[in-house]
Amino acid sequence: MEMNQEKLCTSKADVSSDSAYHCSTCHDDEEWSNTSRGRAKSRSLSASPALGSTKEFRRTRSLHGPCPVTTFGPKACMLQNPKTIMHIQDPASQRLTWNKPPKSVLVIKKIRDASLLQPFKELCVYLTEENNMIVYVEKKVLEDPAIANDDNFGPVKKKFCTFREDYDDISNQIDFIICLGGDGTLLYASSLFQGSVPPVMAFHLGSLGFLTPFNFENFQSQVTQVIEGNAALVLRSRLKVKVVKEHREKMTVQNGIEENGVVSTNIEKEVGKQIMQYQVLNEVVVDRGPSSYLSNVDVFLDGHLITTVQGDGVIVSTPTGSTAYAAAAGASMIHPNVPAIMITPICPHSLSFRPIVVPAGVELKIMLSPDARNTAWVSFDGRKRQEICHGDSISITTSCYPLPSICFRDPVSDWFESLAECLHWNVRKKQNNFAVEE
């Protein structure tokens, strides 16, 4: 939404009805809500209550600007920022709805896991025959011999639409996503959509379940509720990452003399910059790679140098990623509805360096320190690993395209239950290991 005027709203008379600026005091709450949260006519998600459940879900307070408080005293109010990344509502009010009934679903299955073959077949049969939906499946999933050689599954398999990662763009063809496996399947689903992400329903069929709240026993009724638009949502923020590399090209030098006859000792010549962008759900990890030396990187916050990380590396994570690598490195666990970015050092040389939590709207920049003795390596959700040299930079900020994850109950209860379950799972695993050793 564009803001046409930059002035404080002082009274009802000072703001015209067709102004792009609105606040909850100067205008009716319903009118302001419709203006600030308007959606396009295409398929989209709405954070407003689902149809038929308005009385049950009425809380619409936001966890950060411009709501819940936009007025200060009798005259002052907050000027609305048109570049606001995202409005995080009260988690209890985040509900799924559809502008049109969903017709296509992407089913993501963990590869090389025999225990998921039967649930995968049951789900696909239910979606195609019972709900008459178009099912998209990655081509390598159907190459599993247990699926390829199953004659009974053949008629269902012929109805599938297949795609290949990094070759086929399906971002505008999927209404919602179903994941079968562990947390890695949700990370993979996120990587397939570098823009707007359809709602994701994740079934817990893997080892850990921080991100997968659904059990598969009652999948028919649960999927039906999602198709009907009766489900809660948690908007998991993602990181928008831009990697800028100084591109150098090796020149052909014969006998140490270039074509123009000038003697050259440098066989690399800068010819431009290479820019790559990624959407990251968990974390960006910068580490020392195979080098035996400590990494030495500078971290900038909105253009200002805040620290130099000397150690094994640094983790920049979302609240969703706070329960992943960052937790193992000693960071706090943050609920996914908290708008924040975490900076966590990996085995820092300075014992005084502790994990930092910064607001979601800031921009971080990571570069090799001028006196760094070796290069660094960076990965994005454990993928696309690449080397970072002097002069290269990594810019990180909160993406305007969060991942809408469908909840089993509500965002608060699901997160705490998954946290308790995963912590108990680790305790039971240790107890079993001790029993085996004894």
Residue 100 makes CB contacts below 8 A (sequence gap 6+) with: 43
State phi, psi for 178 to the nearest 5 degrees. Answer: -125, 125
**390 secondary structure, DSSP code:** T
| CA geometry: angle 210, 416, 381, nearest 5 deg | 25
The encoded tokens of residue 419 equal 């946290």
DSSP H helical segments within 211-345, as ranges?
219-227, 325-328
CA 361 distance to own-chain centroid: 15
Angstrom CA distances, 405 to 38, 60, 77, 227, stand at 21, 19, 33, 14
Q: Can you spell out the DSSP letters for 184-246?
A: HHHHHHHHH-SS----EEEEE-SS--SS--B-STTHHHHHHHHHTT--EEEEE--EEEEEEEE
Locate tokens 């209890």: which residue?
92
Q: How many C-beta neighbours within 10 Å does residue 405 have?
A: 28
Yes or no: say if 380 and 241 are a contact pair by the CB < 8 Å rule. Answer: yes
Q: Can you spell out the DSSP letters for 41-56?
A: SSS---SSPPTT-TTT
Yes or no: say if 390 and 371 are a contact pair by the CB < 8 Å rule. Answer: no
Q: How many C-beta neighbours within 10 Å does residue 145 have?
A: 7
Cis peptide preceding 91, ω within 30 of 0 = no
Locate tokens 């009802």: which residue?
12
Residue 183 among the catalytic residues: yes
Locate tokens 């820092």: which residue?
348
Residue 182 carries which side chain, given as an amino acid letter?
Answer: G
Yes or no: say if 294 and 308 are a contact pair by the CB < 8 Å rule. Answer: no
Taking each helix axis as running N to C, give the angle between helix 117-125 and helix 219-227, from 0 to 180 degrees, rounded to the nearest 10. Answer: 50
Of residues 144, 175, 183, 414, which has the active-site annotation? 183
Locate tokens 């030495």: which residue?
296
Angstrom CA distances, 349 to 145, 166, 221, 230, 284, stand at 50, 39, 53, 50, 20
Catalytic residue numbers? 183
